[in-house]
Structure 1
Amino acid sequence: MELRKLRAFVEVVRQGGFSKAGKVVFATQSTVSKAVKQLEDEIGVPLLDRIGHRSRLTAAGEIVYRHAIRILTERDDLVSELNALRGLKCGILKLGLPPVGSGILFAKLFAIFRKCYPGVEMRLVEYGSERLEEIVLAGEIELAASLLPVSEAFEWQDVKREPLAVLLPIDHKLSRCQSLDLSKLREMPVILFETGFASNRVIMDACRRHGFEPRVVARSSPIDFVIELAAAGMGAAFLPRMIAEQRRHLSLAWVPLHEADTDWHIAMIWRRDACLSPAARAWLDLVACGRAEDHSVND
């Protein structure tokens, strides 16, 4: 059942005749008459009782007219919503961010996005990178910020690359070093984030390249608690340099980690075969602009 036939039939009823209906749908009288006849043939019963130059609805016509109005209204609503979606007047952005670094990198961008697209609902989840990758692949969210490298199942857009810093008690013998490699920490206990944080994998892999397994004495998710554990002397902790600089602690020193393949390299990722929504693409554009501004300031 074609929408154009329903539209022609509805306008014949509304306008009270085929000629006036034709002017509304931009068709000739004969074209409108043919469309209504085809609709009647398709349904199998007359819809209009034609009396001279006038027509009135049959019982079947009353039913079809009522449903046709609803169908055409829903079609118009559908088109309006899609146009609004393309224009980002509505929609949903499903986004995942890790707890580490998101405040510094994305809080300002959130505020800008909300100001630019107030009709777009932002749904945020917060997990470690490994969990975020899982739910992106499952289709639960469109985009996530995750540490590189990621598998070939994802496409990605660069956000920020930072060296890691080692957090040590201020009176530790290594706290005055200009930089450290992980071999110097072979005998020292370490504090990691909870399972599912990709930064753990970076540290573990680097230690194994030096031929040892680190002695993990604690795991936590909140950054502040990891910092306090390190300040209490439980072990060495690791944070991106920009976060270590921001979260200075009177009892702690931070030393740059001089180690290959241990940079905290964060990117926005999405499923390789995904058809991203206009809201998701707008977010990626905003992140790219923010990164460009960051480079401009640093330069």
Structure 2
Amino acid sequence: MERVSGVSCTVGESPTWSAAESAWYWVDIPAKRVWRMDASSGATRYWDTAEMAACVATKAGGGLIAGMETGIFSLELGEAQAASAFKLATPASGLGEGMRFNDGRCDRQGRFWAGTMFMDMGAAKAVGQLYRYDAGRGISAPFVSELLTQNGTAFSPDGRIMYLSDSHPQRRMVWAFDYDLADGVPSNRRVFADMTTYVGRPDGAAVDADGCYWICGNDGGCVLRFTPDGKLDRRIDVPMLKPSMCAFGGKDLDTLLVTSIVSGKPEDAEWGGAVALLRPGVKGVAETPFGA
């Protein structure tokens, strides 16, 4: 495992690979910061945002789409230190005080999916919802409601299965849905993995070329791989206690970038908040940019 030098995040999240730029992006949520790392040189830089950005995906033509505190935004990242942000949509019911978007990514057709959460996890308010946004139809009504801490959104290689997790300590569940490619509608929700029987909480996720689902075991210091039928077949221990999300990238899509969260525990002092790269021996699936 290789640590990305000079980077430490309070809540590192939402890594994504830009094939067009040969670069990685991720966010530090409370720092209101978007990070970028050039894959060839390893050079890093960041942009400040006016609101917390919790999830990002690349856009066709450049820039990012982001789920933030008050809605879905388009982010343009220029030479200035601050990102230019343009609000694209807000849920019809609004987000409400204490809410923000959390985890998100694009489906295989380039539609952006993101969910909301109540930021005070200790309150355990099941008010989170999952939305779809596309330029033609705008933001959808919520497809999933009563989530505590929405997370783990991912799609199978053929796009016909959508995954979703709830990482709250009281929930710790991963679901699978059938996914209509034409309409972008999930159905037939069922339990994919009951994480109460495994180490860690199910945080951000990725899917590999074999259709296996990789989920960060937050609080468990590991990344777990589940086969398409929901069987755990691999565990990779990482030096961060709270790995938060993973993503495949690199020229051959054979590198896994893992972000993490500072735990505040002495045993996590060196690696908590680190961003790391590892080679798991399998390849991922190219992500579709928003609007592609």
**TM-score, normalised on structure 1?**
0.23
Highest CA radius of gyration, 1 or 2?
Answer: 1
Which has the larger helix fraction?
A: 1
**TM-score, normalised on structure 2?**
0.24
Which has the larger strand fraction?
A: 2
